[in-house]
Structure 1
């Protein structure tokens, strides 16, 4: 089969389309013909040598943490799937390829209203956003701040927070256009972080109370302002570190506000935990995607052979929603 291989750590040019052996499914696996996969920040880090695929080192270093496609074959212990099913799901890696093997617990039936590109853009960011908001214990009536509201995770989190009953969803982004587009998906108030102090804007929007939940993909650069924006008994969850992982923090504010902070990652979790997150998403969020209430937003689609160009585009932070690779015709 054809796959995009990281030939060595480096820039986009190290991504090469190569012939590699077809994957072989085990007794608990699905063999899937991939129709689409989507880009994530972890793919770029993996390409640069900073975020290897968890588990045993594969024979070929192929990025890609999600997929959508058709089941070609099933293992002897697989339940609930048959060849021909339209499926999508999480991967530890390997999605930039014509075929993948995945444990059946990590697969879901793809809603018929989604194109292959939309289905391929769904699993990683929507499961991540849903899982993060659940870990924060978000309940109806609470106020939420979502950073990078135009990113894949941000677009998902805005909509999921509204479905979960958030009374006020505030989002940050680096352009007015992204905030306008996020507003069409349910964002109540937007902050252009290039022009405004988001902590001050959050306090204005909440009458000085702050937000109950913060979903942050930035990390160190936002720590002090996040603490300022957090309400009494507020909860913050870190799902990314685009702004660095080290800061001289005033941790006293955690005591003063009786606040809590936690970090999360999805890729490195054991299959059992990822399977639980998948099933929770499948039960609570996927029906809203199937009905059209929650939109899967695809910014741009590239052919598999143009993975390098796709990663360059994503790295420039111009996308709203997901960047997708189409696999085959």
Structure 2
């Protein structure tokens, strides 16, 4: 089959423990005219061989191998070779509902949207996954005004993830995931939203996000903190100009990232960006501490304002 309506892109790196379950959930899709593009990022645990095995077995699976370059390069490559008019993304350790593709496609087609958003839930073990449902969200299913869509990007229950959305391939023509960066979704989601003519949200859970300690989202490093902080600084500039009502919420997230950055570089000696260090200092020194922060964040932020020396001592020995 060459007439695919949806191309599902799955970056793969040392995911042998979970990959087969992920692909099984995609092979069970109620919508059949989909292609699965597996981009192996120089895996060493058997994932590479599994990708090739699956590609030989199924006509709608394509396996591509690249030198270790990260998920952004994999996604960009997947978009480049995709045959479908619609693009979806799945992480190689997650699980999707059987209607993941069909429901998404039906709704963006029905409402003429360029992007469709759906809800996700979290799980630790496969047996914990629940059937797709429409409960537990403060948002109702509807076509979104652009400002509301931007606001929802900042809500963790929706988020600026790539995997809980469906995209018209056409909006990627001049937008790419920033390569050699972590948290690359932060750098492009608001740009894709801005470029879209219409965005639809469905209050249905279609994606199951696995929680485990090896996930990029659960591992902190100076690179991950710097990359996310840099993306948020750029996003703030955009929101301040184009969506001032959303800017405050965006700034609160950037302030939290700035505090996280200061805690990390004070706790662990090492190389860091002087420009980002200066930006973090300016933000934390100039803006009020958000009221919705938890006690720990508030205490550390106030301590930073009062005494950077004391702040450093606490970072070294207490955190």
Normalised to the residue count of structure 2, the TM-score between the two structures is: 0.29
Which is richer in strand? 1
- The alignment's TM-score, normalised by the length of structure 1, stands at 0.28
The structure in which a higher percent of residues are helix is 2
Which of the two has higher C-alpha Rg? 2
